[in-house]
Chain A
Amino acid sequence: MEQEELTNYAEKIETLAQKLGLDYYPVDFEVVPNNFMMEISVYGLPVRMPHWSFGIRYIHQLIRQGMGHSRIFEVMFPGDPCHAYLVRDNSIAENTLVVAHVIGHADFSKNNHLFARFMEMAGGHILEQAAERAHTIEMALAEHGQQRVEQILDAALALEPHVDINQPLHRRPYPTGFSHSAKEESADPFSRRFHRLPGEADPQLPEARRRTIPPTPEYDLLWFIANYAPEMEGWERDIFLAVREESFYFYPVFACQIMNEGWASYWHARLLREADFLPSDLYVSAIKAHSDVVRPFAADNQLSLSINPYHLGFSIWEDIIEKYGVQRARQICKDEDDFGFIRNYLTPELAEKLDLFVYEADHEGGIRIAEKNIHAIREAILAPKFNYGAPRVAAAEMHVDGSLELIHDHKDDGRGLDIPRAERVLEYVTRVWRRPVSLQTVGGSGHPRVVSSKPIVKS
């Protein structure tokens, strides 16, 4: 009954969306029970590899939902077709809103360059592939035992954000033999373009030296370990590459969160507004759901220490469309990610209107508003997004004996790593690399600090 009603509205909303110029791959909507929705939100994909760390998130999510802190409306996976999941228990008004919202996402993910690039490299069936890989891992579990599979996943998932998204998904190994110029070494498109900029000279390298592995510091750790670990077996490398591919898949969602949610929110609002076929009571409930989602965390006279990305993105898109029109907005949607979007289109006037500020929390827990400078606001919003939200750690050199040296770019990050955690990650990595691994970073007072793996205990 409800199902038919929803299908009916969805069809009309789609027709309206296409009339308004939205361009997207078809969406497979599935109405699923709440517990399945929760699993999707915990794993990030409907069917994904098993790992105990998801168990922790699962408990966490269970508690949050139990306390009513968290409610999931929809999860949408770009692809061709896209997949979207709706919660069965939500009202028809909420689900109508969600359908419109998902169509906004679908439009964004077909057109945005980051999403398009991933799809070009990996195709549009990532969900099926992830499920297939999860199955392969199940088989590996049966064949090689929990301990061996788990130690691979411990390492691979710990390094999940440590990929180089400027590299192709299917990347070739380093050329071997002797190197002659620095130009060929910087293989990724970004560095090549960078070196072609006027005034940018080729870095001078000593001539014809033996190549080291890696030739330049390698930030694509998952790829590097999968390809160069001295004693890894084929199925173990496959797991690393699987985690890497999923990481590539998550990156556009991560890097465009504000734009993407804003865009979807803009379109669901607009589609509902223009959907004259909706009964008025349903429209009112849907719009109420809209304003619950797209509202600043700080309502009225309150202050909030975080910014609702839905509200921020929504406000910026409204501003853009008001000033420049939809055509220009579509171009922006295609060209930018959150970095360009916030830096170029979060204007001082808009920041003023939205009451944005930068606050400082000292380590005794005191919090005060620091400034309202637009540059500071932009950087504060973007800070957690740099480098996939992870510290810059690269493979510096693989020595003749197979030992690996990692280096943390502490200058870029501004400070050193959390040492106890780094030690544990190194422990995971060592079990997979099967040779000594060390990591250079800086300690609390800025002096160099080397973390070394403990010798492997054969168990």
Chain B
Amino acid sequence: MTVHSTISTGSPWYALFSRGARDWLRHNEKVRESVQQHLPDLVAGSDLITGSEERTVHLPVRVLEHARFRLADNQMESYRNAGQGQGQPGDVLRPAQQRPDEDDEAEGDNSEGEVRLLLELKVDDIVDWLWEELKLPDLQPKPKTTLSEDEFVREGWDKRGARARLDRRRTVKEAVKRRAIQQDPVPFSNEDLRFRQLVHRRKPATNAVVLFALDVSASMTDAERKLAKTFFFFVLQGIRRKYGKVETRFIAHTTQAWEFSEPDFFQVTGTGGTGASTAFDLAIEMIEAEYDPAQYNGYLFYASDGENFTEDRSAATAGLAKLTQLLNYVGYVETVPGSSRVTDTEMKSICAQLEQNGARLGSCVLNQPDDIWKAIRKFFMQEALQGAEV
């Protein structure tokens, strides 16, 4: 019997095969999903809001392994395998304190070569993904802040201009062009010179200030603060994406209000009751003193467990009402971790009342980390809507 085997050159299409790349992309999508699930842990640092935007987090891709049944690593006994080379029983090949690194064989086979990658992700990138997914509308800058800054922008070239704005690259180009067509050319002539021109433009103001107010009375526990902190972080990220320059201020209050730096802000614990109006008054004071509403887009986000002295009601309502006029938007989140009971709290009714009167204010309840997305979505949608109406 003769067997005829054939040798052919594979189809030219083979070079275009990219299923591996496609599954790779799908894998990247899974990375995103798992990053999102771990977000509350990722945003645990104390200087998260004011810290650098260049920060990165490490994410072990182990969480993305496609799991299979495997025997547990044996803690008691040692691991045995076959090896090759000259040596006698008892020879120590490697002293302890090092991890064995095995090179699995080169052939692509069925065994799952263990892949351990450590992804380094920029927090900023993660937030970008989230924002992409939330499909939030653009924030509307306050319509009345049409105040503009003047600035000069480079635009175009001319043969005359100030010496300092000589564009060397372009000048040389011109000279080369000229020399190419001239007999016996001079290296440079005045005709070759090109100068950058400036034009005068008006630039809309893009300053924003975000005030964070937090109820630090005894009733706010760690779980509540964590929720509030995570919420503050993401809402700020959203605003940062809209404005060129964003300032942040932190106000904590019990029956009094103080301003804090970020690290202290989430640490501080007060005793005693809750008088939200003090925080609002402090915010108004700050805005009036430092952030002229005509120049700044202002936002206030207030987190509390909802309790407030009844005697404080009218003062708080008045303060909040004034704030809604000064600021682009006021957001109130009520942090009640773990319970999904709907209760009518003091703060909520104040907000509901203001909201009914058409103030630019929104409120939301946070029970669990996932609610943060709902809240952010609600606030941003509402803000965009109301901004458009005005």
Contact = CB atoms under 8 A, between A and B. Distances in A.
A and B part of one assembly = yes
B94 interface: yes
A417 B71 contact: yes
Interface stretch (B1-9, B141-149, B341-349, B355-363): B1-9
A40 B78 CA distance: 36
Contacts of B102: 305-306
Interface of A is mostly: mixed
B74 interface: yes
B92 A367 contact: yes
Interface stretch (A49-57, A181-189, A262-270, A397-405): A49-57
B200 interface: no
A424 B64 CA distance: 11
A380 B89 contact: no
Contact of A52 (B26, B113, B115): B26
A24 B92 CA distance: 47
B3 A25 contact: yes
Interface stretch (B13-21, B182-190, B254-262, B311-319): B13-21
Interface in B9-31: 9-10, 14-15, 17, 19-30
B83 A305 contact: yes
Interface stretch (A27-35, A122-130, A198-206, A282-290): A27-35
Contact of B108 (A40, A304, A368, A422): A40
A365 B66 contact: no
Interface string B71-107: 1111100111111111111111111111110110111
Interface stretch (A113-121, A272-280, A354-362): A354-362
A39 B19 contact: yes
A358 B81 contact: yes
A61 B109 CA distance: 12
B109 to A, nearest CB: 7
B66 A307 contact: no
Given A53-B66, A370-B80, A39 B17 contact: yes
B67 A14 contact: no
Interface stretch (A152-160, A232-240, A327-335): A152-160
A297 B8 contact: no
A14 B3 contact: yes
Contacts of B115: 56-57, 59-60
A13 B29 CA distance: 49
Contact of B84 (A298, A301, A368, A393): A298
B154 interface: no
Contacts, number: 295
Contact of A36 (B17, B28, B84): B17
B164 interface: no
A381 to B, nearest CB: 5
B108 A359 contact: no
A456 interface: no
A250 B5 CA distance: 23
A71 B106 contact: yes
Interface string B120-144: 0000000000000000000000000
Interface stretch (A2-10, A163-171, A172-180): A2-10
Contacts of A71: 106
Contacts of B67: 158, 421-422, 424-425, 428
A416 interface: yes
A370 B89 contact: yes
A59 B2 CA distance: 43
A3 B86 contact: no
A14 B7 CA distance: 12
Interface in A213-236: none
Contact of A369 (B10, B29, B72, B89): B89
A359 B81 contact: yes
Given A307-B83, A357-B82, A360-B78, A369 B93 contact: yes
Contacts of A29: 5-8
Contact of B9 (A24, A31, A81): A31
Contacts of A408: 69
A24 B107 CA distance: 23
A162 interface: yes
Contacts of A305: 81, 83, 93, 100, 102
A419 interface: yes
A10 B10 contact: no
A271 interface: no
A3 B5 CA distance: 14
A365 B102 CA distance: 12
Nearest to B9: A31
Contact of A60 (B14, B28, B82, B113): B113
A285 to B, nearest CB: 19
Interface string B47-74: 0000000000000010011111111111
Contact of B86 (A99, A301, A419): A301
A391 B100 CA distance: 23
B89 A372 contact: yes
A70 interface: yes
Contact of B25 (A55, A304, A416, A424): A55
29 contacts: A7-B7, A14-B4, A29-B8, A33-B14, A36-B14, A38-B108, A55-B22, A56-B27, A56-B64, A57-B108, A72-B106, A81-B5, A85-B10, A99-B7, A257-B109, A303-B83, A308-B84, A355-B86, A357-B82, A357-B83, A361-B80, A362-B79, A365-B100, A367-B94, A367-B100, A377-B82, A380-B81, A416-B71, A425-B67
Interface of A: 3, 6-7, 10, 14-15, 18, 24-33, 35-36, 38-44, 47, 50-61, 69-72, 75, 81, 85, 88, 99, 103, 154, 157-162, 250, 253-254, 257, 296-298, 301-309, 354-372, 376-377, 380-381, 383, 389-391, 393, 408, 413-419, 421-422, 424-425, 428, 444
Given A33-B14, A52-B30, A417-B69, 12 more contacts: A36-B14, A36-B17, A53-B23, A54-B19, A58-B20, A254-B110, A306-B83, A357-B85, A362-B79, A363-B78, A391-B71, A417-B72
9 closest A-B pairs (Cβ-Cβ)?
A: A41-B108, A303-B85, A55-B27, A366-B96, A55-B23, A53-B66, A424-B67, A58-B20, A298-B85
